[in-house]
Amino acid sequence: YINAHRGKTFVVMLGGEAIEHENFSSIVNDIGLLHSLGIRLVVVYGARPQIDSNLAQHHYEPVYHKHTRVTDARTLEMVKQAAGLLQLDITARLSMSLNNTPLQGAHINVVSGNFIIAQPLGVDDGVDYCHSGRIRRIDEEAIHRQLDNGAIVLLGPVAVSVTGESFNLTSEEVATQLAIKQKAEKMIGFC
Please spell the DSSP secondary structure of 42-77, one letter per residue. EEEE--HHHHHHHHHHTT----EETTEE-B-HHHHH
Q: Is 114 exposed, middle or buried (0-12, 13-18, 19+ CB in 10 A)?
A: exposed
7-114+139-159+169-190 — its CATH code?
A: 3.40.1160.10
Q: Which 3 state secondary structure label does DSSP give 131?
A: coil
Please answer whether residues 42 and 151 qualify as being in contact, where contact means their C-beta atoms are separated by less than 8 angstroms.
no
Question: How confident is the model at residue 85, as a pLDDT?
Answer: 97
Question: How confident is the model at residue 3, as a pLDDT?
Answer: 80
pLDDT in tens, 131-190: 999 999 999 999 999 999 999 999 999 999 999 999 999 999 999 999 999 999 999 999
171: alpha, beta or left? (left if phi > 0; alpha if psi -120 to 50): alpha
Please answer whether residues 43 and 152 qualify as being in contact, where contact means their C-beta atoms are separated by less than 8 angstroms.
yes
pLDDT in tens, 40-96: 999 999 999 999 999 999 999 999 999 999 999 999 999 999 999 999 999 999 988
Rounded (10°) angle between helices 48-57 and 73-95 = 130
Question: How confident is the model at residue 96, as a pLDDT?
Answer: 83
Whole-angstrom distance, CA of residue 36 vs CA of residue 181 = 23
Task: Indicate whether 102 pLDDT > 60.
Answer: no
